Amino acid sequence: MYMAAAAIIVTILWLNASSGTSGKPKDEASSASVQQDVGAGGPTAEDPDALPVAANGETLAWPVTNRDAMSVSMPYFNENGTEEEQAAAMVQHDNSFTPHTAIDLASKDGKAFDVKAAMSGEVTVAEQTPQNGYEINIKHPNGLVTVYQSLAELKVKVGDSVKQGDVLGTAGVSEVEKDEGVHVHFAVKSNSQTVDPASLIEDQQ
Protein backbone atom coordinates (compact mmCIF):
# COMPACT_ATOMS: atom_id res chain seq x y z
CA MET A 1 0.00 0.00 0.00
CA TYR A 2 2.88 2.33 0.85
CA MET A 3 4.52 1.63 -2.52
CA ALA A 4 1.31 2.45 -4.36
CA ALA A 5 0.85 5.69 -2.44
CA ALA A 6 4.45 6.69 -3.06
CA ALA A 7 4.11 5.90 -6.75
CA ILE A 8 1.09 8.20 -6.95
CA ILE A 9 3.04 10.94 -5.19
CA VAL A 10 5.92 10.48 -7.65
CA THR A 11 3.55 10.93 -10.58
CA ILE A 12 2.02 14.06 -9.05
CA LEU A 13 5.46 15.53 -8.34
CA TRP A 14 6.61 15.19 -11.91
CA LEU A 15 3.31 16.36 -13.41
CA ASN A 16 3.45 19.45 -11.24
CA ALA A 17 7.12 19.99 -12.05
CA SER A 18 6.29 20.07 -15.75
CA SER A 19 3.70 22.78 -15.12
CA GLY A 20 6.10 24.88 -13.07
CA THR A 21 4.70 24.13 -9.60
CA SER A 22 6.52 22.75 -6.60
CA GLY A 23 4.41 19.59 -6.23
CA LYS A 24 3.99 20.20 -2.49
CA PRO A 25 1.26 21.86 -0.44
CA LYS A 26 2.35 25.18 1.01
CA ASP A 27 2.15 23.90 4.55
CA GLU A 28 4.69 21.19 3.70
CA ALA A 29 7.32 23.55 2.32
CA SER A 30 9.31 23.33 5.53
CA SER A 31 9.96 19.62 4.88
CA ALA A 32 12.40 20.63 2.15
CA SER A 33 14.88 21.44 4.91
CA VAL A 34 14.70 17.93 6.32
CA GLN A 35 17.55 15.78 5.05
CA GLN A 36 16.81 16.81 1.47
CA ASP A 37 18.44 20.24 1.59
CA VAL A 38 21.72 18.87 0.29
CA GLY A 39 20.97 20.16 -3.18
CA ALA A 40 19.15 23.30 -4.19
CA GLY A 41 17.77 21.84 -7.38
CA GLY A 42 16.77 18.34 -6.32
CA PRO A 43 17.67 15.30 -8.44
CA THR A 44 19.54 16.10 -11.63
CA ALA A 45 20.19 14.21 -14.85
CA GLU A 46 23.70 15.47 -15.48
CA ASP A 47 26.08 13.19 -17.36
CA PRO A 48 28.46 11.66 -14.76
CA ASP A 49 31.28 11.76 -17.32
CA ALA A 50 31.06 15.55 -17.36
CA LEU A 51 31.31 15.98 -13.58
CA PRO A 52 34.53 16.74 -11.65
CA VAL A 53 34.85 13.49 -9.69
CA ALA A 54 38.66 13.53 -9.66
CA ALA A 55 40.93 16.09 -8.00
CA ASN A 56 44.60 16.16 -7.01
CA GLY A 57 45.06 12.58 -8.15
CA GLU A 58 42.08 11.30 -6.14
CA THR A 59 38.76 9.93 -7.30
CA LEU A 60 35.57 9.98 -5.26
CA ALA A 61 35.22 6.94 -2.97
CA TRP A 62 32.52 5.45 -0.76
CA PRO A 63 32.60 6.88 2.79
CA VAL A 64 33.06 3.48 4.41
CA THR A 65 35.90 1.02 4.97
CA ASN A 66 34.33 -1.91 3.11
CA ARG A 67 31.52 -1.20 0.65
CA ASP A 68 30.83 -4.94 0.27
CA ALA A 69 29.87 -5.08 3.95
CA MET A 70 27.21 -2.43 3.38
CA SER A 71 23.70 -2.47 1.97
CA VAL A 72 21.78 0.43 0.46
CA SER A 73 19.00 1.21 2.94
CA MET A 74 17.59 3.92 0.67
CA PRO A 75 18.71 4.66 -2.91
CA TYR A 76 19.07 7.93 -4.76
CA PHE A 77 15.92 9.11 -6.55
CA ASN A 78 16.44 8.41 -10.25
CA GLU A 79 14.19 10.55 -12.43
CA ASN A 80 14.56 7.95 -15.19
CA GLY A 81 13.80 5.00 -12.92
CA THR A 82 10.70 2.85 -12.86
CA GLU A 83 7.75 3.80 -10.66
CA GLU A 84 8.78 1.08 -8.21
CA GLU A 85 12.37 2.36 -8.05
CA GLN A 86 11.20 5.93 -7.57
CA ALA A 87 8.75 4.92 -4.86
CA ALA A 88 11.58 3.18 -2.98
CA ALA A 89 13.56 6.44 -3.09
CA MET A 90 10.91 8.66 -1.51
CA VAL A 91 11.32 9.92 2.05
CA GLN A 92 8.09 10.01 4.03
CA HIS A 93 8.11 12.55 6.85
CA ASP A 94 5.24 14.43 8.52
CA ASN A 95 2.73 13.15 5.95
CA SER A 96 4.78 14.39 3.01
CA PHE A 97 6.93 12.63 0.41
CA THR A 98 10.26 14.02 -0.81
CA PRO A 99 12.67 12.59 -3.42
CA HIS A 100 15.76 11.16 -1.73
CA THR A 101 18.78 13.07 -3.05
CA ALA A 102 21.45 10.87 -1.47
CA ILE A 103 22.38 7.24 -0.89
CA ASP A 104 21.93 5.74 2.57
CA LEU A 105 24.35 2.99 3.54
CA ALA A 106 23.90 0.59 6.46
CA SER A 107 26.07 -2.24 7.70
CA LYS A 108 24.68 -5.66 6.82
CA ASP A 109 25.17 -6.72 10.45
CA GLY A 110 23.18 -3.73 11.70
CA LYS A 111 26.07 -2.36 13.75
CA ALA A 112 27.57 1.12 13.83
CA PHE A 113 30.58 1.81 11.61
CA ASP A 114 33.15 4.51 10.89
CA VAL A 115 32.17 7.12 8.31
CA LYS A 116 35.14 8.30 6.26
CA ALA A 117 35.93 11.23 3.98
CA ALA A 118 35.10 10.31 0.39
CA MET A 119 37.77 12.73 -0.88
CA SER A 120 40.30 15.12 0.64
CA GLY A 121 39.03 18.61 1.38
CA GLU A 122 38.04 21.18 4.00
CA VAL A 123 35.26 20.75 6.55
CA THR A 124 32.72 23.55 6.11
CA VAL A 125 29.87 22.18 8.26
CA ALA A 126 30.14 20.09 11.43
CA GLU A 127 27.03 20.36 13.57
CA GLN A 128 24.16 18.59 15.24
CA THR A 129 20.68 19.03 13.78
CA PRO A 130 17.35 18.01 15.35
CA GLN A 131 16.18 16.08 12.27
CA ASN A 132 19.34 14.72 10.64
CA GLY A 133 21.61 13.83 13.55
CA TYR A 134 25.18 15.10 13.28
CA GLU A 135 26.08 16.45 9.85
CA ILE A 136 29.38 17.14 8.08
CA ASN A 137 29.97 18.92 4.78
CA ILE A 138 33.35 18.82 3.04
CA LYS A 139 34.35 21.18 0.25
CA HIS A 140 36.55 19.74 -2.50
CA PRO A 141 38.12 21.30 -5.62
CA ASN A 142 36.10 21.99 -8.77
CA GLY A 143 32.84 22.86 -7.02
CA LEU A 144 32.37 19.42 -5.45
CA VAL A 145 30.87 19.02 -1.96
CA THR A 146 30.20 15.81 -0.04
CA VAL A 147 27.59 15.64 2.72
CA TYR A 148 27.40 13.12 5.57
CA GLN A 149 24.29 12.99 7.77
CA SER A 150 22.78 10.70 10.39
CA LEU A 151 26.03 10.56 12.35
CA ALA A 152 26.13 9.64 16.04
CA GLU A 153 29.22 11.72 16.76
CA LEU A 154 31.75 14.05 15.13
CA LYS A 155 35.52 13.66 15.03
CA VAL A 156 36.23 16.80 13.01
CA LYS A 157 35.36 20.49 13.24
CA VAL A 158 34.78 23.34 10.81
CA GLY A 159 38.03 24.44 9.18
CA ASP A 160 39.76 21.07 9.48
CA SER A 161 41.59 19.75 6.44
CA VAL A 162 40.87 16.06 5.96
CA LYS A 163 42.42 13.42 3.77
CA GLN A 164 40.50 10.83 1.83
CA GLY A 165 39.75 7.95 4.20
CA ASP A 166 40.02 9.99 7.41
CA VAL A 167 37.37 9.04 9.97
CA LEU A 168 34.77 11.80 10.27
CA GLY A 169 32.45 10.17 12.79
CA THR A 170 30.30 7.15 13.47
CA ALA A 171 27.09 6.16 11.71
CA GLY A 172 23.94 6.69 13.75
CA VAL A 173 20.24 7.36 13.36
CA SER A 174 18.19 10.38 12.33
CA GLU A 175 14.69 11.50 13.20
CA VAL A 176 13.57 11.81 9.59
CA GLU A 177 14.88 8.37 8.57
CA LYS A 178 14.58 6.58 11.90
CA ASP A 179 13.01 3.49 10.32
CA GLU A 180 16.34 2.76 8.62
CA GLY A 181 18.19 2.30 11.89
CA VAL A 182 21.93 2.96 11.97
CA HIS A 183 23.13 4.34 8.63
CA VAL A 184 24.99 7.16 6.91
CA HIS A 185 23.15 9.53 4.57
CA PHE A 186 25.75 10.29 1.87
CA ALA A 187 25.15 13.03 -0.69
CA VAL A 188 27.27 14.65 -3.38
CA LYS A 189 26.78 18.11 -4.84
CA SER A 190 28.42 19.49 -7.98
CA ASN A 191 28.08 23.26 -8.20
CA SER A 192 25.15 23.11 -5.74
CA GLN A 193 23.26 20.42 -7.70
CA THR A 194 22.82 16.96 -6.23
CA VAL A 195 24.27 14.02 -8.13
CA ASP A 196 23.84 10.27 -7.66
CA PRO A 197 27.00 9.19 -5.76
CA ALA A 198 26.85 5.67 -7.21
CA SER A 199 26.99 6.93 -10.79
CA LEU A 200 30.12 8.94 -10.00
CA ILE A 201 31.98 6.32 -7.99
CA GLU A 202 31.13 3.32 -10.16
CA ASP A 203 32.06 5.30 -13.27
CA GLN A 204 35.61 5.58 -11.92
CA GLN A 205 36.05 1.88 -11.19
The per-residue DSSP string of 60-124 comes to: ---SSS-GGGEEEEEPPP-TTS-HHHHHHTEEEETTEEEE--SEEEEETT----EEE-SS-EEEE
Q: What is the pLDDT of residue 179?
A: 87
Q: What is the pLDDT of residue 11?
A: 43
Q: How far apart are CA 71 and CA 9, in angstroms?
A: 26
Q: How much of the chain is helix, strand and coil, in % rounded to 5?
A: 25, 35, 40
Q: What is the pLDDT of residue 56?
A: 72
| Helices and strands, counts by H and E, the chain | 3, 14
Q: How far apart are CA 37 and CA 104, in angstroms?
A: 15
Across the chain, which has 205 residues, the per-10-residue mean pLDDT values are 46 40 35 41 48 74 97 95 94 87 97 98 97 97 95 98 98 92 97 93 71
Q: What is the pLDDT of residue 21?
A: 31
Q: Which domain holds residue 181?
A: 2-204
Q: What is the pLDDT of residue 52?
A: 57
185, 37 contact by CB (below 8 A) = no
**Region at 130 (left for phi over 0; alpha for psi -120 to 50; beta for the rest):** alpha
Q: What is the pLDDT of residue 57?
A: 81
Number of structural domains in the chain: 1
Domain of residue 91, CATH code: 2.70.70.10
188, 195 contact by CB (below 8 A) = yes
Provide the residue type at 76 as one letter: Y
As beta bridge partners, residue 34 has none
Contacts with 66 (C-beta within 8 Å, 6 or more apart), sequence order: none
